[in-house]
Structure 1
Amino acid sequence: MATHEKISELLDANPDILRLLVDSETLSDARSRMFGYLNECEDKVRRADCLLHPLEKKNTRDCITVFKSIISESNEHKTKHSCLDTLWKLAAEHWRRQEWPEVTDAFLVEMKHLFKGVIGLSGIYSKSGICKREVPAFMQLEGREAAVVRSELLNVKADQYAGFIHKNGYRTGLDDEVVRRRQEHRQRILQALGATEQDWTNYRWQFKHRFRDADKIGEIIELSAEEKACIDAAMAQGIPCEITPFYLSLMDPDPKADGHRHDRSLRAQVIPNRIYLDKMLEARLLPKEELDFMHEMDTSPTDFVTRRYSQIAIVKPYLWCPQICIYCQRNWELAEDSCGKADPGIHNLAEAYEWFRANPGISEVLITGGDPLAVSNDKIASILQTFAEMKHIKRIRIGTRTLVTAPMRFDEELLAILRTYHRPPEQTITLVTHVQHPYEISQEMADAMRNIKSLGIDVYNQQVFTMQNCRKFETCFLRESLKGIGISPYYLFNLKGKEETADFKVPVARLLQEQKEEARLMPGLVRTDKPVFNVPTLGKNELNAWQDHEIIMILNDGSRIYEFYPWEKYMAPVNTYVYKDTPIYDFLRRLEALGENPDDYKTIWYYF
């Protein structure tokens, strides 16, 4: 529920809006007055004599656009909610001091920033929006003198990045101390399993000896009571929870040993949380097609094939992974490998191959699943040979997370297979992996990458932006660390909006902020990934492009409602997609609980 403090902050943020709402007899009257007021605000900011800084003017116009959107009747109809009605009632109750509408602090703080933003008082550049003293010194200079001063300012920005890395203790598995600790950890795991170093370097042994039992895992790493309870519950209910010995060796035995929880993201990847467990159990009561969040059934022209775009299609030759990510978008169709249902079988794959042969417009195939590198080398060779014989297939992608979970998978035999079928310029192989956090990078991954790059094969990374990797400059550090071992950042995904992933959710605004304020400080070759939102059925929506999405409502719990316009919008009248985001205020409180300073993220409210 809302606090009186936050209600007062909202209503004090813009006395003009307060007076307008109080004077309105009806909701219709309030809407008419609000549109008139916002038009006046826009006229003022476009006048030649407006003293606001041009950047503040741009932000003001953006805020006005958003405000008009959320009070429009069409968007109220679309979302079945009226933000304006809530504001109108709040204003009335402010004077009557009676019963407040059902709102949260998250809503009030969101609206407070919008109230300030429409009159140029965002506070981003100055408290007044009129920047005089705040203008960088080099703007008043010319030539070499300006260049020197500007260079000094850029040094400050570079130091800011280094300072956050140091303050938060961001590390990779390439640090000498981490390498040493992991080597010791590996010996404990080998001893517990009665295995040898030769076993450790065998990917088949890694797959066969995945950890599933909380007691066994607890003998290797310290588990919290909640982590243990969730693993036990997952096992009891048959919900996938498996960790390769190698990935377990990346986790810290004692996560509190040096004052940081370096492996927080690693644990969250594979150890179920309570929300996930509850929602997965509820989902079992639903028809399978209702679990298909991305509507892959609607884009599957034949079994084990998905096609959303004109020149590329997906084939899924194996529906299991050596290790399941908690937020997997395809968990609805994964089949336990031990029961024999993960393998589509030769006949079904033959039909998928025939579909590719019959569609010569497809020039690229993405081999995914599950993880296709969970199968034998013989099967990988067979799949690659089949596509190599299709002359219209110019590029073969392999989507795999084994570089993270079992990098020894890239043994000499697999490398020889890849060498055979990577034949530029006629046909190329590309690997697409999923490194989620800098702490997942290991010496073994770096060694595997050295061998892969020696074949001339490119490797790209797809990261999902979550609560576990969204701290200031955390993803920048991942990008830089990946480039250091030869992996290029490719996509930065907004998390799928599935209910079981609620514990991972980050507002769209934070992803945009990361791209504009943090990634922008990195050299171009490091920040090569694109921020995208995956629209069910229709595919990727580029978040940097405002014309591809807009905010259409703010709910009483502080959630922004977005409408996404798919990439086909100029080609066909396809349906749009409406999405409820996680409240920014709630997100900042979670960051604060992790030791972050919310003031470091203060501009987040103005990323739309």
Structure 2
Amino acid sequence: MSVNLRQEEVQLESKKRLIALQRAKELRSRIDGYLKNKANIPSGFEVQEAYQQAKHKLLQVLQATEDQWHDWHWQMANRISDVTVISQLLNLDAAELQAVQRVGRQYRWAVSPYYMALAMAGGINGPVWRQAVPSIEEVQDRSGLEDPMGEEFTSPAPAVTRRYPDRLIINVTNQCAMYCRHCQRRRNIGELDLHKPRKILEAALQYVRENKEIRDVLITGGDALLLSDKQLDWLLSQLDQIPHVEIKRIGTRTPVTLPQRITPELCAVLEKYPPIYINTQFNHPLEVTPEAKKACDMLIKAGVVLGNQAVLLKDINNDPDVMKRLNHKLLQIRVRPYYIFHAKAVKGTRHFITGVNDGINIMEQLRGYTSGLAVPTYIINAPNGYGKTPVLPQYIVENHNTHVTLRTWEKRIIPYNVKCKQ
């Protein structure tokens, strides 16, 4: 090889490296804003000092021990649903306490001590607080519907909701560790915690047996993991014996609101009936705590596959940086971001509902700006039970089948011919 040829190759490689370095600098600039803002979006790991202080105060007010704190039965028995307790925990003024009382007369509320400690750590009217503690805005909403999903018209058997050809829901309870203020089924909460009777569940199971196209069953509520270990064992064993049921799914928010519920005994039950998929609902990075990680670790060790279905909520997570931070923290605890649901127009929840553009903007700032694992699907549920509809930014500008015009994540307009090398 001649000296001149070698020099030309070195110069070419140097030019390529310079182009790559310039591109890397450009790519870094794309996320400079997020990197600067990241410190302003703490996760639950980063507010541990405030959380421990709140926990200590709760233990004092509730006259409880550390061992009781870690007992999910104690957590459930001591859910906070009285402004008297809140007044002992925080310096709220009379008007704020009266507002909680007024809402409570119309819409039930209850918060596990664990989640209340997290709400206190995140600050009054912070993103966790707003999900847990009633707001006067709930009783001022006259525009929503009790059942925007039309579930009463998609129930072909007791406790069953069916919206799709090959899968269905079995609603097993109305009980939750914390009654989310944005709940889509708040009409079912009532004044008493009620699990579905065995005869109702048997009727639902019989419907599954008789409809052999059903390959996927979601057990939800309420919160499905608030059934006893014995009840869950029976229900999962029944589904496991139906040949055409390929997978079981469980809908639960306990890893978020009551991680103490994830016990070795529960995991032993779940481990018996693979494959089991659990979708939970983390809505803000503050909810990703050491306790939540421990619960998820236990579930994963039991063979459960974990996903997250966040709900897009105004002034909580309708911000691209908040959602990106949430999804990054979820991946760190091995929970795959699956959906972002547009909040449903449920009566009493209007103050949580954002514009669709908020969701599209979040997707624009996720796709390409972070790894695909951290990019869920943005979903609007069609009214009256007609199912999930994915909503995406428009990446195809023109479509002529064999050649299209694309808009990339950086908004570059690029022609693409499917039959030719690019």
Does structure 1 residue 407 correspond to structure 2 residue 275? no
Partner of 2:166: 311
Question: Which one of 201, 205, 212 corresponds to residue 349 of structure 1?
Answer: 201
Answer 1 or 2: which has greater helix percent: 1
- Aligned partners of 1:479 and 1:519: how far apart in 2? 12
- Aligned partners of 2:92 and 2:252: how far apart in 1? 28
- Aligned partners of 1:245 and 1:201: how far apart in 2? 11
Matched letter for residue 214 of structure 1: V
Does structure 1 residue 201 correspond to structure 2 residue 48? no
2:299 match: secondary structure: helix
Matched letter for residue 198 of structure 2: I
Does structure 1 residue 330 correspond to structure 2 residue 185? yes
Does structure 1 residue 386 correspond to structure 2 residue 238? yes
Does structure 1 residue 449 correspond to structure 2 residue 292? no
Whether contact under 8 Å (1:404, 1:445) holds in the other structure is yes
Does structure 1 residue 368 correspond to structure 2 residue 220? yes
Matched letter for residue 360 of structure 2: L
- Aligned partners of 1:209 and 1:253: how far apart in 2? 19
Matched letter for residue 349 of structure 1: L
Whether contact under 8 Å (2:146, 2:347) holds in the other structure is no
Question: Which one of 253, 263, 267 corresponds to residue 129 of structure 2?
Answer: 267
Q: How does 1:236-275 map to 2 (within 5 A)?
A: 237-252=105-120, 255=123, 264-275=126-137
Question: Which one of 207, 210, 221 corresponds to residue 90 of structure 2?
Answer: 221
Whether contact under 8 Å (1:371, 1:400) holds in the other structure is yes
Query: What is the Cα deviation at residue 183 of structure 1?
Result: 2.0
- Cα distance, 1:221–1:393 mapped onto 2, change above 3 Å: farther
- Aligned partners of 2:318 and 2:122: how far apart in 1? 23
Query: What is the Cα deviation at residue 545 of structure 1?
Result: 6.8
Question: Which one of 29, 34, 44 corresponds to residue 156 of structure 1?
Answer: 29
2:81 match: secondary structure: coil
Question: Which one of 148, 157, 171 corresponds to residue 42 of structure 2?
Answer: 171
Partner of 1:430: 277
| Higher mean C-alpha deviation, range 514-523 or range 206-215 | 514-523
Partner of 2:317: 469
TM-score normalised per structure 2:
0.85
Question: Which one of 339, 342, 345 corresponds to residue 491 of structure 1?
Answer: 339
Query: What is the Cα deviation at residue 337 of structure 1?
Result: 3.2
- Aligned partners of 1:204 and 1:372: how far apart in 2? 15
- Aligned partners of 1:214 and 1:253: how far apart in 2? 18
Query: What is the Cα deviation at residue 499 of structure 1?
Result: 4.5
Whether contact under 8 Å (1:199, 1:205) holds in the other structure is yes
Whether contact under 8 Å (2:109, 2:134) holds in the other structure is yes
Partner of 2:17: 144
- Which digits, 9 at most, give the CA deviation of each residue in 1:58-100, with x for residues without a partner? xxxxxxxxxxxxxxxxxxxxxxxxxxxxxxxxxxxxxxxxxxx
Whether contact under 8 Å (1:202, 1:408) holds in the other structure is yes
Query: What is the Cα deviation at residue 170 of structure 1?
Result: 0.5
- Which digits, 9 at most, give the CA deviation of each residue in 1:387-437, with x for residues without a partner? 111111111110000111110101111011011112xxxxx0011100111
Matched letter for residue 191 of structure 1: Q
- Aligned partners of 1:254 and 1:375: how far apart in 2? 29
Matched letter for residue 305 of structure 1: V
1:291 match: secondary structure: coil
- Aligned partners of 1:155 and 1:349: how far apart in 2? 54
Does structure 1 residue 278 correspond to structure 2 residue 140? yes
Partner of 2:49: 180
Q: How does 1:457-536 map to 2 (within 5 A)?
A: 457-467=304-314, 468-527=316-375, 529-536=376-383
Query: What is the Cα deviation at residue 317 of structure 1?
Result: 1.1
Query: What is the Cα deviation at residue 323 of structure 1?
Result: 1.2
- Which digits, 9 at most, give the CA deviation of each residue in 1:366-385, with x for residues without a partner? 00011111121111111111
Whether contact under 8 Å (1:476, 1:519) holds in the other structure is no
Query: What is the Cα deviation at residue 241 of structure 1?
Result: 1.1
- Cα distance, 1:546–1:315 mapped onto 2, change above 3 Å: farther
- Which digits, 9 at most, give the CA deviation of each residue in 1:542-564, with x for residues without a partner? 111769xxxxxxxxxxxxxxxxx
Unpaired runs of at least 5, structure 2? 1-13, 396-410, 412-422
Query: What is the Cα deviation at residue 224 of structure 1?
Result: 5.4
Partner of 1:419: 271
- Aligned partners of 1:453 and 1:302: how far apart in 2? 33
Whether contact under 8 Å (2:166, 2:216) holds in the other structure is yes
- Aligned partners of 2:20 and 2:394: how far apart in 1? 33
Matched letter for residue 317 of structure 1: V
Q: How does 1:589-608 map to 2 (within 5 A)?
A: none
1:413 match: secondary structure: helix
Matched letter for residue 28 of structure 2: N
Matched letter for residue 157 of structure 1: R
Whether contact under 8 Å (1:489, 1:526) holds in the other structure is yes
2:38 match: secondary structure: helix
- Aligned partners of 2:81 and 2:189: how far apart in 1? 17
How high is the sequence identity, in percent, across the aligned residues?
28
Query: What is the Cα deviation at residue 254 of structure 1?
Result: 8.6
- Aligned partners of 1:361 and 1:451: how far apart in 2? 32
Query: What is the Cα deviation at residue 225 of structure 1?
Result: 5.1
- Cα distance, 1:222–1:394 mapped onto 2, change above 3 Å: farther
- Cα distance, 1:330–1:203 mapped onto 2, change above 3 Å: same
- Aligned partners of 1:509 and 1:347: how far apart in 2? 45
1:460 match: secondary structure: strand
- Which digits, 9 at most, give the CA deviation of each residue in 1:302-353, with x for residues without a partner? 1210011111100011122121111111112233335xxx222111111111
Question: Which one of 277, 287, 291 corresponds to residue 146 of structure 2?
Answer: 291
Whether contact under 8 Å (1:221, 1:253) holds in the other structure is no
Partner of 2:420: none
Unpaired runs of at least 5, structure 1? 1-140, 256-260, 284-289, 423-427, 548-602, 604-608
- Cα distance, 1:216–1:511 mapped onto 2, change above 3 Å: same
- Cα distance, 1:241–1:331 mapped onto 2, change above 3 Å: same
- Aligned partners of 2:219 and 2:292: how far apart in 1? 21
2:232 match: secondary structure: helix
Whether contact under 8 Å (2:364, 2:393) holds in the other structure is no
TM-score normalised per structure 1:
0.60
Query: What is the Cα deviation at residue 226 of structure 1?
Result: 5.0
Partner of 2:407: none
- Cα distance, 1:508–1:254 mapped onto 2, change above 3 Å: closer
Partner of 2:418: none
Partner of 2:9: none
2:310 match: secondary structure: strand
Larger Rg belongs to:
1
2:309 match: secondary structure: strand
Whether contact under 8 Å (2:160, 2:170) holds in the other structure is yes
Matched letter for residue 328 of structure 2: E
